[in-house]
Structure 1
Amino acid sequence: MSIQFRNNVHCHGDGPVTLMFVHGYGCDQQMWRFIYPSFLGRYRVVLMDLTGSGGSDLSAYDRDKYSTLYGHAEDILDVIDLYAKAPVVFIGHSVSAMIGMLASIMSPEKFTAQIMVSPSPCYINDGDYVGGFNAEDIDGLLQLMEIDYDSWIRRMAPVIMGAPRQPILQEELLTRFSKNDPEITRHFARVTFTADHRAEVEKSTVPALILQCSDDLIAPREVGDYLHRHLANSQLAVINNVGHCPHMSSPTPSSDLIEDYLLHIGA
């Protein structure tokens, strides 16, 4: 099977350093359209869709392989090997920030740095750890997905996007969710929202920038603080943004912080 077809890989530019952008849950590479064009003059940009999302090959979605985020991390490494000029700067949103972190643990030599946009190693509160949700909250959301997928996306799309003054973005996310394969989306939701990769955080040695939003119901500020404390060679930057998708609702501040970090690491 063609990896390009499996992950709908698109490459732009031909700079000496590769930036690899990977979207979050339920989305696709179009979510980066406000960010990546400004980097094309100096970098090679690789865009892809997670298997089972967007324009990827849905028939390639193997429920066993993708029963954990490691299956997607393996795909990331496949794409790097074929389409990137390694080592890469990996820019992942939400669950893909964790997928990228796992890939960096598996093959650190393939990564110069990782930029984590609204990341979370665990969405469920646990003792002193604040993930944003109680276990009962997650169970309820997953049950609603099984019973009434349309109600779930109407409830969750505005929460995930936030951006209360930009309803067009909420509508766009709702539309994207509605186009997904419901069975794959349900499966990936369970994998995403029940995952706990806190134990892996300290294993990642690749330098990292954590981009956290000031008001994010999906990944609250405490999550960014936790990652910054436990992730070696990390920096934390907070974007003044309501919602979980700052690359959509606050693209200029997001792009500026990415630009500053790339200059900082000499990429």
Structure 2
Amino acid sequence: MENEFNYAQRTIGDFEEAMDNYGWIVYTDALNPDFIKTINDDLVTAYEHRRKIQEKNGISANMDGTLHHLLERDNFGLRFLEKMFCNDEISYFLRGNYILNGINAVMHARQEHPYLSNMHRDVRTFMKDTKLLVQMIVTLDDFTLQNGATYFLSGSHKTDLRPDETYFYKHAARAIVPKGSIILFNSNIWHAAGENSTAHLRRALTLGFTRPFFKQQMDYSRFLGYDFVAELSPELRQVIGYNARVPENLDEYYQPPHLRMYQRDQG
């Protein structure tokens, strides 16, 4: 693929050109095998917990193999964010500080049809020149034609028009990449998960990053605990969202600048 690069040798120029022309870019050799195994092991128990909640609340249909909000104190989530994968590219795309919008995963099995298999884009409001959201797929298994490598309709991030589905599946490129790769893409691009025809799972993390004023899918700071901020590096405080919180009472609102819930450098 013309938009595929080795993670260690990537440049901002490569990123800018690929995102402008295609709307997505691939970096291979980003995660090492040991870390991939750690993530995959954590997903087993994480899925069991989330599946029970989905079933209890009556929303399990078409959500097979989907896991949401994997940032917890005792799993891989914090370690992943600590590594700051593609930090320069995300900062460049969003023009400054950014926060995590969501950290999720998919374990796509044969004959499962989660909602991600539908052709879609991940924002409802099209804003061509205003960059609010950039997304990341982390491949935890090889992505192949047989196991449902993601479809991306290159260039579709430039227009507000919804493509015809027949046209989409005929012309979309496939992200055929090895495990341990990172795919970054413009949230305006039309894409879809492919069908897995193998006997093995195709696992991946799916993350979104936004400008700090954009509402998160979950209040990660409150979920982890406001007291937890003392254990975090400045970089993690920023990306998790501790610098872009909303005060819930007047005492939290009336604070000196360095103690305010929403810091002045958040845009």
TM-score scaled by structure 1? 0.28
Higher helix share: 1
Q: Whose relative contact order is higher, 1 or 2, with alpha carbons under 8 Å and at least 6 apart?
A: 2
Name the larger-Rg structure. 2
